[in-house]
Chains A and B, each alone.
Chain A
């Protein structure tokens, strides 16, 4: 009997310890402030170093579509490079972003050309800043955090995280991010100009476990009051960690990105 009590006490202690160890990472990363939520969202959406494949679909009001497939590499908070794999007319094009700098490499032109964040290499509603997305905290300061009356899928109220651009070079002056507290993921992001005009809304859907601790929405949709009836969709696949030298994220290397697939 005494042995049995001892056995159960030991089991309870082990279970408690295991539970404490399992919940320790969550308590360490428990978000209370706007800045902490911003960092948590970046961790969720943009693992520090990864490769992924993306499909971009532009849908017109009449339902016709145009699709692009990109291979993307990201390093740190502000280095991203994407290579167009399809359609054939775009194949071999590459776009590079290092912080506020963006370049487009076209095989026929053969050298990188500086592009701006408000242009779009694919047309449609996504602009270059959306396609070459760096961490939100690289471009934005967390301003405030309020509990919204809107409810998420789990029935818990969404949080509204308000962000403001750090510099005038950022594509959108202000972001309004609605966060699902349970999923620790944005549900929508609304982008505004400095005058308060809504430019576009991004919808985050289909949370997927990509493995290696990467779990994030696999579909991002966007629409804009400036492009009535048009919609653009970004689908993520095969996202996995990949360590690369900094030299890969240079203009000199852009013509060779295709060799890294």
Chain B
């Protein structure tokens, strides 16, 4: 495979670069501190180079498998990817411009070609003469909510993948005004955000593909009361004449225990859905950080409904099966109840900068689950290595039992500059 060979060559060059940098690293004087190199510049940027190689095993028992591999039966696929994200900021006296994007090259043993993609995730201009208040215009990712894997109150953004909550997402074109009055009586700090998000054929059209024209208004009120953060969210869709709302909170109950929650009422095509989340983050005496979240979403299917969909894909006529498959693929969340548990152990056996973690994402309705084991190691400044193993399990006609992916082994190397 020529594309894969080229990608492997790149991986070797990357490895040589790492070893040379490690060998020739200089040991500066312990207390030397050249501050001047850190003074602010008009243009600043940061980037990363990530090379990832993965081996995936397909689930041949999945009802989705015949649709993916109608002619050529495949059990495994090897992928290699090179990813270069870039964050850049221009800061003039009166305004700022932010650009965030990503360039990716992917080669796969399934195809002869190398796929190249470039995504502009955020691009916005910010009026800074009003500091600490601001007005922003452009492509922006709002990231509303307090949850780690799920965000019920994320009413004006593309949905997050709970399997990879920190994955980069694309923003939406909008105008945003932020007012930070600071302290008001009874509240330690507070802020107010007003958002205008237009939907037209050329603007945010892919966000709401079923709408030709819409004007969406959003309001966020944030406050800190004692040791608890509160946010209230309100969105109004002018053409549909629909109003959604939600709230969230987060609080430190002790020096090693954090609790957070979200609730939202989301209307879609006259159906009112409620979404809620409750989560904790707990640090034990032996340095294990537990992140646990429970999520309920009435827009998901019940167990009987999802079972029916999988059975239709498997047994019904081609047309009915395709319809069911499209319905499944367009569903943002399959079931109504999920749980997310992540245990991360800091530097076990005195192995500094080594962090193993285990993540369990479970569909509580059909008892299927997705387990991700990760070993993270960052031995040298700006370099990190991640080895991960993902295993999906479940009975027939369950979400993770019917997933096309059976398991995945991935090695990722990252260099920041």
Interface flags, B123-136, vs A, CB<8A=1, else 0: 00000100111100
CA distance A118 to B285 in the complex (A): 10
A163 CB-CB contact with B under 8 Å: no
* Residue from A65, A87, A252 with most neighbouring chain B CB atoms (10 Å): A252
Least CB separation from A129: chain B residue: B255
Q: Are A250 and B182 in contact (CB under 8 A)?
A: yes
Give the total number of A-B pairs whose CB atoms are below 8 A apart.
153
CA distance A67 to B417 in the complex (A): 15
Q: Are A66 and B257 in contact (CB under 8 A)?
A: no
Chain B 268-289 residues near chain A, CB threshold 8 A: 281, 283, 289
Q: Are A169 and B33 in contact (CB under 8 A)?
A: no
Q: Are A247 and B181 in contact (CB under 8 A)?
A: yes
Q: Are B87 and A88 in contact (CB under 8 A)?
A: no
Contact (A233, B30) CB under 8 Å given A109-B143, A250-B191, A261-B39: yes
Least CB separation from B193: chain A residue: A252
CA distance A66 to B349 in the complex (A): 19
CB distance from B225 to the nearest CB of A (A): 10
Q: Are B30 and A89 in contact (CB under 8 A)?
A: no
CB distance from A105 to the nearest CB of B (A): 11
* A235 cross-chain contacts in B, Cβ below 8 A: 31, 33
Task: Select one of A98, A115, A168, A253 contacting B188, CB under 8 A.
Answer: A98
Q: Are B141 and A110 in contact (CB under 8 A)?
A: yes
Can you offer 25 A-B residue contacts whose CB atoms are under 8 A? A87-B381, A88-B46, A88-B417, A89-B48, A89-B414, A98-B224, A108-B168, A114-B146, A119-B256, A169-B254, A170-B255, A171-B255, A228-B350, A235-B31, A245-B132, A246-B182, A246-B183, A247-B132, A247-B180, A247-B189, A250-B132, A251-B224, A253-B132, A256-B132, A256-B134
Task: Select one of A60, A101, A113 contacting B224, CB under 8 A.
Answer: A101
Report the 10 A-B pairs with minimum CB-CB distance, sorted nearest first. A89-B416, A246-B182, A247-B132, A261-B40, A247-B180, A88-B416, A252-B191, A247-B182, A110-B143, A250-B189
Kindly state the interface size class of chain A when it binds its partner: 35 or more
* B378 cross-chain contacts in A, Cβ below 8 A: 89
Interface flags, A42-70, vs B, CB<8A=1, else 0: 00000000000101011010000111010
Task: Select one of A89, A233, A249, A252 contacting B384, CB under 8 A.
Answer: A89
Q: Are B180 and A253 in contact (CB under 8 A)?
A: yes
Q: Which residues of A line the B interface, CB within 8 A?
A: 53, 55, 57-58, 60, 65-67, 69, 71, 85-89, 91-92, 98-102, 107-111, 113-119, 123-124, 129, 168-171, 206, 219, 227-228, 230, 233, 235, 237-238, 245-253, 256, 258-259, 261
Q: Are A118 and B255 in contact (CB under 8 A)?
A: yes
CA distance A228 to B347 in the complex (A): 13
CA distance A230 to B353 in the complex (A): 13
Task: Select one of A92, A99, A248 contacting B46, CB under 8 A.
Answer: A92
Q: Are B180 and A259 in contact (CB under 8 A)?
A: no
* B414 cross-chain contacts in A, Cβ below 8 A: 89
Contact (A116, B256) CB under 8 Å given A60-B352, A71-B38, A88-B416: yes
Q: Which residues of B line the A interface, CB within 8 A?
A: 27, 30-31, 33, 35, 38-40, 44, 46, 48, 87, 89, 91, 96, 128, 131-134, 141, 143-146, 148, 166, 168, 178, 180-183, 188-191, 193, 222, 224, 227, 229, 250-252, 254-258, 260, 281, 283, 289, 346-347, 350, 352-353, 378, 381-382, 384, 414, 416-417
A117-B255, A118-B283 known, 7 other contacts, Cβ within 8 Å: A53-B33, A60-B352, A87-B416, A109-B166, A116-B283, A206-B31, A237-B35
CB distance from A248 to the nearest CB of B (A): 6
Q: Are B38 and A69 in contact (CB under 8 A)?
A: yes
Q: Are A100 and B180 in contact (CB under 8 A)?
A: no
Contact (A67, B381) CB under 8 Å given A116-B257, A118-B256, A252-B178: yes
